[in-house]
């Protein structure tokens, strides 16, 4: 099973609790964990960049409140995505280790 889009990660089963172990055999939990870690880092870098943009906007004499509100909303959305990718990465890492231990 490979994931190309973020929404595909929602349906990845937890190896510990899956009743269909055969289905889980085709899932590369380690690859998913690495991918989600990378996505989390990218999202956090984007949040940092937007935060710096807000600071620059605030320093200007003509303050655009709508732009700050929009950027703040983007930060909020990205933070939620970062929490989700981090949770998926942690679960996938655990499932990877659990799967490897069961198969040894």
pLDDT tens per residue, range 30-67: 888 888 888 889 999 999 999 898 888 888 777 778 88
Give the 3-state secondary structure of residue 79.
Answer: helix
Mean pLDDT, range 80-101, rounded to an integer = 83
Does the structure show a pLDDT above 60 at 3? no
Residue among 97, 101, 81, 98 at smallest CA distance from 41? 81
Domain boundaries, the chain: 28-103
User: Cα 88 to the chain's mean position, in Å?
Assistant: 7
Q: How many residues does the chain have?
A: 104
Mean of pLDDT over the chain: 80
**CA nearest neighbour of 81 among 28, 33, 36, 35:** 36
CB 50 within 8 A of CB 72: no
Q: Which of 82, 85, 76 is nearest to 54 (CA)?
A: 76
pLDDT above 80 for 83: yes
């Amino acid at each position: 099973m490979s994931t190309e889009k973020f929404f595909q990660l929602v349906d990845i089963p937890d190896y510990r609790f899956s009743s269909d172990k055969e289905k889980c055999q085709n899932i590369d939990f380690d690859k998913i964990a690495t991918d989600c870690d990378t996505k989390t880092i990218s999202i956090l870098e984007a949040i940092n960049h937007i935060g710096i943009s807000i600071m620059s906007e605030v320093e200007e004499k003509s303050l655009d409140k709508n732009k700050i509100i929009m950027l703040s909303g983007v930060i909020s959305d990205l933070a939620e995505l970062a929490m989700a990718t981090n949770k998926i990465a942690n679960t996938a890492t655990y499932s990877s280790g659990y799967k490897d231990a069961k198969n040894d």
